[in-house]
Amino acid sequence: MELVCPAGSLPALEAAVDNGADAVYIGFNDETNARNFGGLNFNDKNALRALERIRNRGRKLFVAINTYAKPDSFARWQAAVDRAAGLNADAVILADIGLMGYARERHPELALHLSVQASATSAPALEFYRQQFGIRRAVLPRVLSLKQVQQLAAASKVELEVFGFGSLCIMAEGRCHLSSYVTGESPNQNGVCSPAKTVEWRNAAGGLETRLNGVLIDRFAENENAGYPTLCKGRFIVDGKRQHALEEPTSLNSMALLPELKAAGIQAIKLEGRQRSPAYVAQIVRTWREAIDEVLQRGADFSVKDSWRDTLSKNSEGKQTTLGAYDRPWQ
C-alpha cells in the first residue's frame, strides 16, 4: 500500500520524503493544477530539484495536471504534460479527456493516473479511461461508502487510490460549480475553490463576518473559531433555520478503515494538502507512515493509536475529523 503525499513547495516535498512518503505529488505554478494558489507549486527549476531529491531517496514523483484545459490555451496544458514527461516523472495525474489523448499519443511511455477531478465512480467509467488512454491508476472521488469502494475495487482493472486524510470536498470532485457561481473561479477551470482573493474578513455589529465576493458565508460570535469561508462549509438559512446546511468545517480521516481498504486491494492512500505548510506535511505523513506500517504488519488487528488521532485532529479543519462518505450515516 503506497503512501502518496502532497507537496506545494520544496520544503514540503522534503518533509514528505523525510517522513516516509512513498510518492509525492506536485503541480506546476499555474492553472494547470487544482491547487493553483499564489506562492505555491513548482517552476521548472524547482521541479528539477524536486526530482533530484525524490530520486536520491528512491521515491516516486507524480505531477498533477488535473484541471480542465481551456479552449484558447490548450497548449499550456500540453506543455505541462511535456514538462512532466521531460522530468521523467513516474506519473501524471490528469482529468481532461482531450489532454489524456494528447499524453497517450505524444508520450506513450508516461504513466497516466486518473485524477479525482474526473469523478469516475463506477467500473465502466474506469474502464472507459483504461480502454481509451491506458490509465494505470484512478483516484476515487470522496463520494463512495466503504462497501462501494470494496465493490469497485473487486471490479476494477486499474489500480485504485483513495483519500486518507485532508480537507473534505463534500461534493463529487470535478462536478462542483459552487465556487464559480459565487466568485467566477472554479476548481475545474482555474484550479481554485473559494479563492483567497475574493475573501473578506469584516468586523461588524453582529460579529466577525467572512465573505466571498461580497456574499456572506458565515458570522462568528466572540467565542467561536472563525474558519476560512469555503462555500460548502458556511452557515446558511434553510427554512428559517441557521445551520451548516451542507457541511461543518471538518477534515476527512479514513485511518480507521486501513485494514478494510488494504484487504479490498486498494493500492494507494492519498493525503490531501498541497496548500499546507511543510510542518503540516511532516506531521501527517509521519503519522500515516506509522499507521500504514502497522497495518502491513498486524493486518486486521490494527487499531488507531490515540497519539495518531490527536495529531490528525490537531491538523484538521475545525479541529474535527469525519469518515465522510465512507460511513453511511454521514451521507
Partner 1 sequence: MQLALGPAQYYWQRTDINQFYEQMLSTPLDIVYLGEVVCGKRHQLRAADWLELAQQLAEVSDKQIVLSTLTLLESNADFNWVRKICDNGQLLVEANDLSAVQLLAEAGLPFACGPAVNIYNQHTLAHLMSLGMTRWTVPVEMSARQLGEVLNACDSRPEVEVFAYGHMPLAYSARCFTARHLGLDKDNCDYRCMEYPDGLPLASQEGEELFVINGIQTLSGEPTNLLRHYKQLCELGIDILRLSPQWQQMEQIIDAFDCARRDDLDTELLPPGVDGYWCGRPGLELIARSGTGAPA
Which residues does the annotation place in the binding site? Answer: 169, 176, 193, 232
- DSSP labels, 152-164: HHHH-SSEEEEEE
Choices 46-54, 165-173, 287-295, 300-308; region in contact with partner 1 by CB under 8 A: 165-173
Choices 35-43, 56-64, 86-94, 214-222; region in contact with partner 1 by CB under 8 A: 214-222
Residue among 192, 156, 38, 171 at smallest CA distance from 116: 171
For partner 1, the binding residues in 220-239 under the rule CB under 8 A are 232, 234-239
Contact residues for 159 (Cβ-Cβ < 8 A; gap 6+): 136, 137, 138, 267, 268
Lay out the site mask for partner 1 across 267-306 (x = CB under 8 A, - = otherwise).
----------------------------------------
Lay out the site mask for partner 1 across 249-268 (x = CB under 8 A, - = otherwise).
--------------------
With respect to partner 1, which residue has the nearer C-beta, 23 or 140?
140
With respect to partner 1, which residue has the nearer C-beta, 57 or 175?
175
With respect to partner 1, which residue has the nearer C-beta, 39 or 237?
237
> CA 120 to CA 46: how far, in whole Å?
32
- The answer to the question of residue 320 lying near partner 1 (CB under 8 A) is no
Q: Out of 216, 226, 256, 304, name the contact with partner 1 by CB under 8 A.
A: 216
List of E strands, 60-153: 60-65, 91-94, 112-114, 137-139
Our CA dihedral for 170, 171, 172, 174, rounded to 10 degrees, sits at -120
Residue among 164, 163, 140 at smallest CA distance from 153: 140
